[in-house]
Amino acid sequence: MAIRFCIPDLTTGDNDGTSETHAWQTIAQCISNYAAGDHVYFKTAADGSRANSEDVGQDGGSGRSQFATASTDSSGPTIFEGYKDTPGDRGMFMMGGCARIQGDNITVLYWDVDSGNSNNGAFQLDGDGTLLYRCVASNSYGTGSSSSPPTIKMADATILECAVYGSGDATTEGVVAANGNAKIINCYIELRESLSGSMVNGCAIVMN
């Protein structure tokens, strides 16, 4: 396991991920270069703005970053951890677009992702054993206009102590769409009606 860094607003250094000084400067660089079992720290921008997801490593859709390198029994889990000032400070990594976690046994900690588009939710969790812990997921696209896709799509994954927000015209549109061996534990899930912005009764979880 190696410690790696991704700082999307960094403009100096070697861009090789080996330290904060030489962190990967784009999410695309991270996706292309991280290895199974790495612990990658993602630093939020100094001004608090969201890093944009990038159409890289993905098989369709727009504004979606696909993390596909899977962990193995020998490598241990791959960890993507957000921070604000110092690695391990539990600050949120702010991202706009969609994070598709396709590799197996990937853990994502302290990410705040707002999809903001009609094509994808904030997280798409496809890898076996994926864990989302203390993350915030939202899709502001539909608010005040039209319905939006589920904020989280998940299969054989777990979301633990996360906050999930979405918009739609009914609970059947869902904030979380889950199938397979999906687990939702101690999470806050909120659905708001698209046009009025008022809360919709129901937990907005759709099990397929």
- Residue 18 pLDDT > 90, yes or no? yes
- Classify residue 198 as exposed, middle or buried by CB count within 10 Å of its CB (0-12, 13-18, 19+): exposed
Residues 5, 166: Cα–Cα separation, whole Å: 30
Query: In this predicted model, what pLDDT tens digit does every residue of 72-89 receive, in sequence order?
Result: 666 788 999 999 999 999
Query: In this predicted model, what pLDDT tens digit does every residue of 96-137 receive, in sequence order?
Result: 888 888 888 999 999 999 887 666 788 989 888 899 999 999
Q: Judge whether 30 and 54 are in contact, CB under 8 Å.
A: no
By percentage, how much of the chain surpasses pLDDT 70? 75
- 43 versus 204: the higher-pLDDT residue is 43
Mean pLDDT of 190-198: 59
Mean pLDDT of 32-46: 93
Q: Mean pLDDT over all residues of the chain?
A: 81
- Which residue carries 């994954």 as its tokens? 157
Angle at 147 between CA 145 and CA 150, to 5 degrees: 140
- Residue 140 pLDDT > 80, yes or no? no
Q: Taking every pair of C-alpha atoms in the chain, what is the biggest distance, in angstroms?
A: 51
Q: pTM for this one? A: 0.86
